Amino acid sequence: MTTTISYSPGLSGKVLLTKLFLVCGMLSSILYVAMNIFVPMQWEGYSTVSQTISELSAIDAPTRSLWVPLGIMYALLTTAFGWGVWISTIKNRPLRIAGALLFINGVISLFWPPMHQREVLAAGGGTMTDTMHIVFSFVTVLLFMLTIGFGAAAFGKVFRLYSIATLVILVVFGILTGMQAPEMEANRPTPLMGVWERINIGVYMLWVIVLAIILLRGERKHD
């Protein structure tokens, strides 16, 4: 069954603000996808097929100065979206938790530590920032999965099945990406590593857009 939420006229200002925050969810995903199309073009020799997204913001990477401000914008949009999800409902606890997780993810993204380039890592030049980069990566993936899990619990069967499929893709392509991490650190060929990671990120970004659309429609789906 599908029920539509109606808002009283007195709450119109709050509703508009909430919708603005929810639109930030779609904008965040669109921005991140655009970043992955435009920024690599500024680095001659960079391969989206074999190189990771993190390498675009690596220390001394030619694209770092461009990626960082755009990354901050993405983080702020994600934080705003998380807040929008949180305030979009009171009684739907799973959805509020998903909003909190999105908010936390956005805040964490503001402080993401950079990695060094492959050549530096292979030469033993890695530092604490590289270790923290790995930690942040694990935390972010965990937040992705928890967000999808709680978001799925907030709606009906169709969205739950879609969310489960998204989680499966995240796990499979996350493993494929992680398997080549030692090769990257050793500056050896990593065929398709960039593809696997971008599929991983892409399905999550699409999930965020779908969630934002559902909330903007003001609908709750129940079995």
Greater confidence, 34 or 91? Answer: 34
pTM summary value: 0.90
Q: How far is CA 5 from the centre of its chain?
A: 28
- What local confidence, expressed as pLDDT, does residue 90 receive? 78
Which span out of 3-7, 12-16, 67-71, 89-93 was modeled with the highest average pLDDT? 67-71
Confidence of residue 118 (pLDDT cuts 50, 70, 90): very high
Asked if the structure places residue 188 within a domain, the reply is: yes
Asked if the structure places residue 7 within a domain, the reply is: no
Q: Which residues contact 4 (CB under 8 A, 6 or more apart)?
A: 218, 219
Asked if the structure places residue 92 within a domain, the reply is: yes
92-110: average pLDDT: 96
Domains in the chain, number = 1
Asked if the structure places residue 77 within a domain, the reply is: yes
Classify 34 as helix, strand or coil.
helix
- What local confidence, expressed as pLDDT, does residue 131 receive? 96
CB-based burial label for 95 (10 Å; 0-12, 13-18, 19+): buried
Q: Does the structure show a pLDDT above 70 at 220? A: no
Asked if the structure places residue 209 within a domain, the reply is: yes
54-78: average pLDDT: 97
- What local confidence, expressed as pLDDT, does residue 221 receive? 41
User: In which domain, by residue range, is 186 found?
Assistant: 14-221
- Tokens representing 59? 């220390």
Asked if the structure places residue 3 within a domain, the reply is: no
Among residues of the chain, what percentage have pLDDT more than 70? Answer: 93
Cα(75)–Cα(201) distance, integer angstroms: 15
Distance from the first to the final alpha carbon of the chain:
6
Contact of 193 with 50, CB cutoff 8 Å: yes
Sign of CA dihedral 220, 78, 32, 204: negative
